[in-house]
A and B are shown apart, each in its own frame.
Chain A
Amino acid sequence: MTEKKLTKGNIALAEGAIQAGCRFYFGYPITPQNDIPEYLARNLPKHGGTFIPAESEIASINMVMGASASGKRAMTSSSGPGISLMQEGISYLAGSEMPAVIVNIMRCGPGLGGIAPTQGDYNQAVHGGGHGDYRNIVLAPGSVQEMFDLTIKAFELADRYRNPAMIIADAMIGQFQEPCRLTPERPVEFPEKSWALTGRRGRDPRLLKSLYLGDYEQEEHNLFLKQKYDEIQENEVMVEMQNLDDAELIIIAFGTPARVAKTAISLAREEGLRVGLIRPITLFPFPVNEIYEHSARAKNILVVEMNTGQMVRDVRIAAHKDAAIHFYGRPGGGFPFPDDVLGEIKKALGGGAR
């Protein structure tokens, strides 16, 4: 067994990228994710990798595109405003079917916002962000170990589906420390890239593009992408479920609020309240079936987010029609402590959905 090391979330993510075979990082400084580029600037060269401190987030994502088009694993990381600047490039990556890993250690917004922990960018990550009819694969780590493991997973999924994969985490997940195994659980997958632009020697020329002007060409392309997203939805849902068998109330949360919810659930169960947890690990694909199935029986859902209500809309779509859906949100760096959540549990079980 490999020894676990007390590791900061952002560092686990950065090391995960190296272990995933990522050798190209391009980024622009922004708090609270600076540990990631600083770690990679120091360590990528030791692995023969390239680190470029890019002139902007726009340049960063396009450098990622260039390296990714070459068939290499490449990533960038940023926060709030920086991720907004990357949206054009992310849309191109999705449209041209290129893999890439984009990390968002979220900042409070809108605007410049603050650097306290928040989950304000759920909608941006899960429901587009950039222009056009596309989806990102979105992973939401809930522990330092998952910061490491899901980064590897993100590279594998991005390559498997030739699609951008985003990792979104609040600053708490980025900056707290836990014991972490810093080696992959199983051998990292490296799919063949028969589409990479490497010069046409010995084969026909290749093209990566997203412009479709011919009659119905764009529609055909969008329908093709849709098929791919359906396949992702079918095959790649990751979700953690706890204490659901007897639950009268299910908390649905990701990232830090899910951690806090676990403590609140222990407190609730000590008081005889039957509460369980569904923690989406993939935000796209969303655990639609799991939520439907368990909400049909439990009849009560409490969504906890560090925003004013973003994932809760997806929960409403997924949940059984008879389930009452409650929401507790702390936006802008406001923080849900375990006893806050316990209070919401009691309120929700007391009746009255909103």
Chain B
Amino acid sequence: MYYDVIMAGFGGQGIQMISQIVALAAIRKGLNVTYLPSYGVEKRGGRTNVTLVIADEEIGSMVSNHPKCVIAMDTIAVDKYKAQVAPKGLLIANASLVPLAMLDRSDIVPLPLRCNDEALALGSAKLSNMIALGAFLQRSEILGFGDVEAVIDEVTPERLKKTIPANLEAIRRGIEIAANGSVR
């Protein structure tokens, strides 16, 4: 098993948070993980990109320009990474911000999710990252809800602990939407 994913968006969308959750859950499952946050000049300008590689074998490259999955939380992320998705790969896009017309590659699987709207419906726009995470879990099939539930406390900073139940709820909602395969 070898799976690489790039998660991208702007600062504050919680990309680091969901990538940390996935990384730790994978480690706990006994998998190898590399976690590469934005590096170099990309650090500037408020963008957040994380490249995660998860494998049951030794991981070579910690960078990927043909990831099996891209989670793009805004239009800039779609612009930058859409072309990189491996053929037959998955492009999870935050359709609350990204026009559907941008998801125009026919050789990959687009999964538009109205992350912000779904999150608001659950009570807070801040849950949009968890909607995307749920969808990723459902489609990538490398980690289950239980794997994530087991590590979310560890990854969540003390001052945000009270948000854990809402986060888990949002992850479940993401899983549910992805399973139905449609934009609500």
User: Which A residues form the contact surface with B (CB < 8 A)?
Assistant: 4, 6, 32, 114-117, 171-172, 175-179, 256, 259-266, 333, 335, 337-339
Q: How far is the CA of A5 from the CA of B90 in the complex (A)?
A: 29
CA distance A45 to B10 in the complex (A): 36
Please name the residue on chain B nearest to A338 by beta carbon: B61
**Interface pair A177/B35, CB less than 8 Å apart:** yes
Interface residues of B in 38-65 (CB under 8 A from A): 39-41, 58-65
B26 to chain A minimum Cβ distance, whole angstroms, is: 9
B66 surroundings in chain A (CB, below 8 A): 339
What are 25 inter-chain pairs, A to B, with CB distance below 8 A? Answer: A4-B27, A114-B40, A114-B41, A115-B40, A116-B40, A117-B39, A171-B39, A175-B36, A175-B37, A176-B34, A177-B23, A177-B36, A178-B35, A179-B33, A259-B59, A259-B60, A259-B61, A260-B60, A260-B63, A261-B60, A262-B60, A266-B60, A337-B61, A338-B65, A339-B66
Chain A residue, CB-CB nearest to B31: A179
- B34→A178 contact, CB < 8 A: yes
Total chain B interface residues with beta-carbon distance under 8 A: 22
Residue of A nearest to B32 (CB): A179
Q: Decide yes or no whether B15 CB sits under 8 A from chain A.
A: no
A326 to chain B, nearest CB (A): 20
9 extra interface residue pairs, beta carbon distance < 8 Å, beyond A176-B35, A177-B37, A265-B60: A6-B23, A6-B27, A32-B40, A171-B39, A172-B36, A175-B36, A177-B35, A177-B36, A260-B61
Among B27, B36, B65, contact of A176 (Cβ-Cβ < 8 Å): B36
Q: Please indicate the chain B residues that have their CB under 8 angstroms from the CB of A265 in the complex.
A: 60
Q: Does B24 belong to the interface (CB within 8 Å)? A: yes
Contacts of B61 in A (CB 8 A): 259-260, 262-264, 337-338
